[in-house]
Amino acid sequence: MRLTEAQKRHLRGMAHHLHPCVHVGQAGVTPALLAELDGALSHHELLKVRVRAGDREARDAMIGDLASRSGSTLVSRVGNVAVLYRPDARGPRLVLP
């Protein structure tokens, strides 16, 4: 899904007060982690993910992998935290401008 800059700005504002609810640890991207991420995105649509990786390239690769394998869109990334958005298939609950 392609988001406009205005939509990304709106989603960043909505995600500002959220705490990371999915944490990627040393094991990296596992099937169990993907299942947890899928459930969290289905329930919340917008969430923060904390990724622990040794360097920036590995962290960016993990975040890109999470977004592509979950079918979500990367809204923003600041340090170890990424904001992902995936609208609900039955009808999005978050209204975008």
Q: In angstroms, rounded to a whole number, what is the distance separating the alpha carbons of residues 36 and 28?
A: 13
Provide the number of structural domains found in the chain: 1
Q: Residue 51: which domain range?
A: 5-85
Give domain status of residue 91, yes or no. no
The tens-digit pLDDT sequence of the chain (97 residues) is 789 999 999 999 999 999 999 999 888 889 999 999 999 999 999 999 999 988 899 999 999 999 999 999 999 999 999 999 999 888 878 878 8
pLDDT of residue 88: 87
Task: Give the domain CATH number at 20.
Answer: 3.30.110.60
pLDDT at 13: 96
Q: What is the pLDDT of residue 54?
A: 81
14 in a domain, yes or no? yes
**Strands laid side by side in the 73-78 sheet:** 22-24, 46-51, 81-85, 73-78
